[in-house]
Structure 1
Amino acid sequence: MLSQIKRLGADSLLYAFMNVGTKLIAFVMLPVYTSFLSKTQYGVVDILDRLTSMLTFLVIFGTDSALSFYYYDTKDKNKRLLYVQNVMYFRLFVVAVLFLLVVIAGPWFSEKILENPHYVDLLYVNLLTLLLDTIFVVATTVMRFEFQTKKVVLFTVLKMLLVAILSYIALKFWTPTPGALFIGRLISSVVLFIMMLRMTWNYLKFRIEWSVLKELLAYAAPLAPTSIAFWVIANSSTFFIQQFASLAEVGVFGVALRLAMMITLITSGVQMAWHPYAMSVKDKEDSPYIFSKIYIALLLLGLVGVIAIATVSPWVMRTFFTADYYEAYPYIPFLSCVTFLNFYYLIISVGLFFKKETSYITQIFTIAAVLNILLNFALVPFFINWGAVIANVATYVFAVLFIFRKSQQVYYVPVSFAKMAFLFANMMVSTVAIVYVQEKHMNMLFILGSWVYFLAMVAISRVDRDFRQQAAVENVS
């Protein structure tokens, strides 16, 4: 078991390095971009990014999980290649359909959503970028499956560096508009496509086998509504804010969301390594005990991360951003909590993937999407950004609770739900206290007190006892 955990740790460390690198690049560039763009212009960028994320969900259509399952389900290299090729061309077909829709309705859509018909050109640029990124993602996904971690890290970091450099050049020396930002992204995708063409050539050879595609889509289809539900949950708040406030408020909320991704400095490395790792150890006799340790360890790591982000958010906004964006800081820790829960549900739902009961995830997130819309509709008109924050936190708490409960029913992992809930609740108490102290300009010792309170609650929960008990069971077995 120790060797298995070491492998997860080694891959997670490399992926963590990659994600720390890419997130730091994004973090450094965000204040640079906002120095060129007004709140309203950044609101346009944020809305377009959210629309692109929806299109990405539609392109993937759950085939990432399907490819992961069937790739490991066979040892035949030719069959594995066939699965990859079918996934590749399914996704490229979806991109082609989306491009046709933009040709037909792009100008109308641009005027209604972006409040400027001339922004239709940005839709075309984004779709071309999505096309190239689709090829990039399939290629790096296969690299992950083959545990070619160093290559994944190299190409991903290089891509992010190119985006940062080329976007800055476009903003600085061409035009300080959203268009310059998106052109920089497109050129970086073109460069990476050329660099990776040799290793992706086999994946791009046209070979569709309908039985294989049906097999993939049969696994993926139950997850597709989940993707749409995810998009609704992640993005509906932005459109409610635009409707009831302004593009400028969208810009502020968008900056808070971007900075909330700092929590992924902790989680994203594990997330990339998790699915291949979990599938590779699922049949081991002691796998439930492995997962129970990971559940608790990652929960603690994420909760500490949220409190840390709450502590440093005002300093970050004062130091790196113009005064126009400072008001975003109190939203950041709570949106970080949402980001963590979006990661954590993948960890605690292993049973549903092992038992092929992924349709339950679809059901829960579909309900959660409806709940999110209702909460946004009820709260955003009165509380604007705070209403959106509350809606998102409540939605993800609901989803994680029900997914964990069902996963435990089909694949029991010996971990205490009461203890996990206790830790989460006390993290929220500490985070609210820290934000309150910052808003009221109280003595910073109260923030230290919030940290002491949370650590005391961790000590009271005695999570160390769980680890010792599990170790004893493993020694006996």
Structure 2
Amino acid sequence: MNRTKRLIRNTFVFGIGNIGSKLIQFIAVPMLTLYLTTKQYGQMDLITTIVSLSLPFFSLCLYDAILRFVIDDPRSEVNIISTASFITGVMIVLLFFVLVALLPFNFENISLYRLGIVFLILQIIESLLAQYLKALDKNWAYAMNGLILSGLILFLAYVMFQIMNNRIHAYFVAQIVSYLGSIIFISCNLKGHPIFRIDAIQQKWMKKLTKYSLPLIPNQIMWWVMNTSDRLLVTLFLGLTTNGLYAVATKIPSLTNVVVTIFMQSWQLSSFENADKEDKSTFFSEVFNNLVFFLVLFSSIVLSFLMVIMNSIVSRDYFGAWIYVPMLLLGGLFSNISMFLGTNYLVGKSTNGIFRTSIMGAALNIGLNLLLIPLCGANGASFSTLVSYFVVCVIRFIETRRTVTISIDYPLFISATVVLVMQTLILYWGPSYLEFVCLAGLAIFNHRYLTNMIGLVKKIVKNRE
């Protein structure tokens, strides 16, 4: 199977699982805003944010190392997974001691933090096993796991809301039970592939795995800082109610992440498989420019229908969150481009580059948040996110040219910038019909990419048949 067909096939497979799971998560927004007050939503989001921050520290990002090295050296599969499982087990024991240490205490919300630790432990296990499943080319099972996990969370959250008075506790209980179900599903699909053998643990793999994965921790923290640290600072400066609105606003740009999550899962595999090909720069450039157009078109569509989307998915109390969406959407665009460029560091096993750019992005984001949130409110946080992602994007593009030379389609970038900026200004001050004029102009000016998209859809359908 040639590389384009394999990329299409994997995109289709991951697409089924991810579109379903992301849609389920999106459907969950109206339910959460119905059952939780803005303050409760802000508190729930705060605990989730802390767990997200803790995940790369306590998992050591070993799940990324498993994917890279199992694909690169399948003969050492048992040694790789056994060594990674051992290291992960040590980190889980540390978390267990933290949980035990918290048991005697009874200060406000302590029970939420206990649930958060259990939630974190299960996330670490699930992430490790899910990436192992993907490394073994069990892509259908990997995709179905995402769909099952999201479906369980939605269903169990609804059930728990009916039977538990404390609805924040109910949400995290639903998450915990859902992740347990996911771990059981993955384990069933790993039958015949040992997850841990004590005699297969090797010191050389401890060094290789940690050398590769440890620099990725700041990268994960950077994404956390630019995605969620602003919500902590919004809470600090503006309160839980404003954070509840801002947290809902971040769900709208996550529509773009539906596309990118699907694509990046298949692209990561393709980039590793084509790392040593002579024409990799041509292949990477073609994929890059088509991805950028897709993301820009998707963002333009969301901006055009933003008010309709807000009216459809949130209750009246949350409608004012729309004002934060445009900046977050533009920031998400550069975030996704940075994610694509970050793959080039992984291709060259140069994860120190990810470390360096991550630190730069995180420091810039925190500094801008501290400066702009007190001056501009929550939109100061969204603007800080946009600027930080843009800077990281530029740095990664320059640095990764040493590994892969990507040729940018500048007319596409210029037209995209003009259209998205105009649509943002129109949302605040202009007549709404101009949004659709901008959208049409973008599609017509870049019609060849639109033709490529239509051709890709036809290939996916043909590949399915």
TM-score by length of 2: 0.89
CA deviation after TM superposition for structure 1 residue 65, in Å: 3.2
Provide the C-alpha distance between the structure 1 equivalents of 2:411 and 2:396, rounded to a whole number of angstroms. Answer: 17
Q: List runs of 5+ in structure 2 lacking aligned partners.
A: 454-465
Q: How does 1:65-80 map to 2 (within 5 A)?
A: 65-76=64-75, 79-80=76-77
Change in Cα spacing, 1:18 to 1:360, as seen in structure 2 (3 Å) is same
Deviations along 1:84-107, one digit per CA (max 9) or x if unpaired, are: 122223233223323433554699
1:192 matched to 2:182: yes
Are the counterparts in 2 of residues 81 and 203 from structure 1 also a CA contact under 8 Å?
yes
Equivalent residue runs for 1:429-448 within 5 Å: 429-436=421-428, 440=429, 443-448=431-436
- Give the Å deviation of 1:136: 2.3
Stretch of structure 1 that moved more, 337-346 or 97-106: 97-106
Structure 2 counterpart of 1:20: 19
Q: After superposing the two structures, state which structure 1 stretch, 171-180 or 93-102, moved more.
A: 93-102
Which one is further off, 210-219 or 38-47?
210-219
- 2: CA distance, partners of 1:241 / 1:344: 26
Q: Distance in 2 between matches of 1:165 and 1:75?
A: 38
Q: How does 1:213-232 map to 2 (within 5 A)?
A: 213-232=206-225
What is the letter of the counterpart of residue 18 of structure 2?
A: N
Q: How do 1:174-189 residues align onto structure 2 when only pairs under 5 Å count? A: 174-175=164-165, 177-189=167-179
Q: Structure 1 residue 317: deviation in Å?
A: 1.7
> What is the CA-CA distance between 1:427 and the residue it aligns to?
4.2
Closer, same or farther: CA 23–177 of 1 in aligned 2, 3 Å = same
Q: State the TM-score, normalized to the length of structure 1.
A: 0.87
When the two chains are superposed, the root-mean-square deviation of aligned CA atoms in Å is 2.6
Match of 1:312 among 305, 317, 329: 305
Shift in CA distance, 401/165, structure 1 to aligned 2, threshold 3 Å: same
- 2:171 corresponds to which letter in structure 1? L
- Which whole-Å CA distance do the structure 1 matches of 2:104 and 2:384 have between them? 32
With over 3 angstroms needed to count, the CA separation of the structure-2 counterparts of 1:422 and 1:136, relative to structure 1, is: same
Change over 3 Å in CA distance of 1:402–1:196 after alignment to 2? closer
Distance of 1:258 and 1:89 partners within structure 2 = 36
CA distance in 2, matches of 1:125, 1:83: 31
Matched, 1:98 2:87: no
Assess if the C-alpha contact under 8 Å between 1:259 and 1:332 holds in 2. yes
Q: 1:254 to 1:354 in 2, by over 3 A?
A: same
What amino acid maps onto 2:320 in structure 1? E
Cα 1:420–1:99 change in 2 (3 A) is: farther
Residues 128 and 457 of structure 1: CA distance in aligned 2, closer, same or farther (over 3 Å): same
Could you list the per-position Cα deviations for residues 199-244 of structure 1 after superposition, in whole angstroms to 9, with x for gaps in the alignment?
Answer: 4572144453222111111122222222223322222211111111
Matches of residues 27-42 of structure 1 in structure 2 within 5 Å?
27-42=26-41
Question: Which residue is 2:80 aligned to?
Answer: 83
Q: Would the aligned equivalents of 1:306 and 1:333 in 2 still touch at CA under 8 Å? A: no
Structure 1 residue 407 displacement after superposition: 0.5
| Secondary structure at 1:152 match in 2 | helix
Alignment of 1:142-221 (within 5 A): 142-175=132-165, 177-200=167-190, 202-206=194-198, 208-221=201-214
d(CA) in 2 for partners of 1:356, 1:226: 14
1: distance between equivalents of 2:450 and 2:247?
39
Cα displacement string for residues 117-157 of structure 1 (whole angstroms, at most 9, x for unaligned residues): 33221222222223223222222212212221111122221
Point out the more displaced range, 67-76 or 382-391.
Answer: 67-76
Q: Secondary structure at the match of 2:334?
A: helix
The answer to whether the 8 Å contact 2:345/2:351 transfers is yes
Tell me the amino acid that sits aligned with residue 3 of structure 1. N
Segment drifting more, 449-458 vs 357-366: 449-458
Asked whether 1:411 is paired with 2:418, we answer no
Counterpart among 406, 417, 430 of residue 425 in structure 1:
417
Instruction: Out of 446-455 and 295-304, give the one that drifted further.
Output: 446-455
User: Partner of 2:462 in structure 1?
Assistant: none
- Residues 142 and 197 (structure 1 numbering): CA distance in 2 closer, same or farther, change over 3 Å? closer
Is the aligned partner of 1:120 residue 2:110?
yes
CA distance in 1, matches of 2:55, 2:156: 22
Q: Which amino acid aligns with 1:66?
A: A
Look up the match of 2:282.
Answer: 289
List gaps (5 residues or longer) in structure 1: 111-116, 468-477
Q: Is the 8 A contact 1:309 1:333 kept in 2?
A: no
Residues in 2 aligned to 1:456 and 1:37: alpha-carbon distance in whole angstroms = 43
**Separation of aligned partners in 1, 2:449 and 2:15:** 25
Distance 1:434 1:37 in 2: 32
Taking every aligned residue pair, what percent have the same amino acid on both sides? Answer: 19
Q: Take 1:95 and 1:317, find their aligned partners in 2: how far apart are those partners? A: 40
Equivalent in the alignment of 1:475: none
- Alignment of 1:359 with 2:349, yes or no, is no
Tell me the secondary structure at the aligned position of residue 170 of structure 1: helix
Structure 2: how far apart are the matches of 1:267 and 1:218? 27
| Aligned-partner SS, 2:214 | helix
Question: Counterparts of 1:69 and 1:195 in 2: how far apart (Å)?
Answer: 23
Q: 2:247 aligned with 1:250, yes or no? A: no
